[in-house]
Amino acid sequence: MTAALLAITARALLNRRRTLLLALLGVLLVLVTVLYRLGNPSDTESLEVTRRLLGDFGLGVLLPLVAVIVGTAAIGSEVDDGTIVYLLAKPVPRWRIVLVKLAVAWVVVVLLVVPAMVVSGLIGHDDPGLAVAYAVAAIAGALEYTAIFLGLSLVTSRALIIGLAYVMIWEGVVAGLFAGTRILSVRQHALAVAEAVGGESAVQAELAPGIAAGAAIAVTVVAVWLAIRRLERVELRGETA
């Protein structure tokens, strides 16, 4: 039962054209880092710039973009075109559907983002600790982002645009302005994880690791719970109601 769910979700998510375009973003990150390295920067400079590349580009743009597209597609595309009925017309507990889809989407996001970040980190600065720290942060952030967008896609049909708006406005602007909102910012959670793994040399996060971890877990659990609830109550009207 679970295997079939995994297989269907994986095949549907790995739509060739979309996956290729998303992978290109990761390639772009690597290329930009290579371009930077060609200028032969000093060690302190490369640390700072690689930090910014991995933090602002990798965690700040690449991860949320990939997560929003994959996360909303995991269930959203099936609800959109009506094929969700084939999944729902089975005696499969709804929580299992949500968890399997979340797992597959998470793995896909990680595969599209983390290798690029690791390669970029290793090229940009010789200390592998930096790359590892940000990679772990990306893995954690991917789970949280994907859970949020998966839940969002069950709440609204325009989840993709709203997710993008969230990333740009909330993460980009609001969390920068109002310190109190940082506790709810996925990017800040991820940065705190990076600091916990790589030390202060890797990144100086705004949140303490304990608080960030707690908040991240709370957000993820709430998102998953919401998604399960909505899936249990999803109503299919049909084309000619």
Partner 1 sequence: MTASPEAPTGTIYDIGYRHYDGPRLGRRGAVMAIVGAGLRAVFGLGRSGRSKVLPWGAVVLALAPAVVAVAIRVLAGDLIDLYSYENYLWSVGILMPIFVAAQAPELVVNDIRQRVLPLYFSRPIGRFDYAVAKLAALAIGLLAITLVPVLVLFLGRILAAEDALAALGDEAGALPAIVGSGIIHAVALASLGLAISSLAARRGYAAAAVLAIFLVGGVVSAIFAESGAGLEEFAPFFNPLAILDGAREWLFGGTVAESPVGIAGLPLWTYGATALVLVLVSWAILALRYRRIPT
Partner 2 sequence: MSAIALAGVSRWYGNVVAVNDVSFEVGPGITGLLGPNGAGKTTLLHMMAGFLAPSAGTVNLDGTPTWRHPEIYRLIGFVPEREAVYGFLTARQFISASAALHGMADRGPAVDRALELVEMVPAADRAIGGYSKGMRQRAKLAAALVHDPQVLVLDEPFNGLDPRQRLHMMDLLRRQAAEGRTILFSSHILEEVERLSDRVLVVVAGRLAASGDFRRIRRLMIDRPHSFTLRSSNDRALARELLAEGEVDAVELRDGLLTVRTGDYGALTRAVAPAAQRAGASILELRPADESLESVFSYLVRR
Q: Which residues bind partner 2 (CB under 8 A)?
A: 1, 3-5, 7-8, 11-12, 81-83, 85-94, 232-241
Q: Could you tell me the smallest distance in angstroms from the CB atom of residue 53 to partner 1?
A: 6
Q: Which of 12, 23, 61, 88 binds partner 1 (CB under 8 A)?
A: 61
Identify whether the C-beta of residue 159 lies closer than 8 Å to the C-beta of residue 72: yes
Q: Which of 9, 60, 131, 230 binds partner 1 (CB under 8 A)?
A: 60
What residues contact residue 217 under an 8 Å CB cut-off, 6+ apart? none
φ/ψ of 82, rounded to 5, equals: 90, -5
Q: Residue 106 interacts with partner 1 (CB under 8 A)? A: no
Q: Which of 11, 90, 96, 158 binds partner 1 (CB under 8 A)?
A: 158
User: For partner 2, which is the closer residue by CB, 45 or 232?
Assistant: 232
CA distances from 164 to 75, 123, 158, 167, 177 (A): 17, 29, 10, 5, 19
Identify whether the C-beta of residue 33 lies closer than 8 Å to the C-beta of residue 53: yes
Could you say which of partner 1, partner 2, none residue 237 binds, taking C-beta under 5 to 8 angstroms by partner kind?
partner 2
Site map for partner 1, 9-48, x if CB under 8 A? ---------x--x---x--x---x--xx--xxx---xx--
Q: Which of 10, 164, 174, 184 binds partner 1 (CB under 8 A)?
A: 164
Q: Residue 59 interacts with partner 1 (CB under 8 A)? A: no
| 187 Ramachandran zone, left/alpha/beta (phi>0; psi -120 to 50) | alpha
Identify whether the C-beta of residue 146 lies closer than 8 Å to the C-beta of residue 106: yes
Q: What is the dihedral of CA 100, 83, 222, 166, to 10 degrees?
A: 120
Residues that bind partner 1 (CB under 8 A): 18, 21, 25, 28, 32, 35-36, 39-41, 45-46, 49, 52-53, 56-57, 60-62, 65, 68-69, 72, 158-161, 164, 168
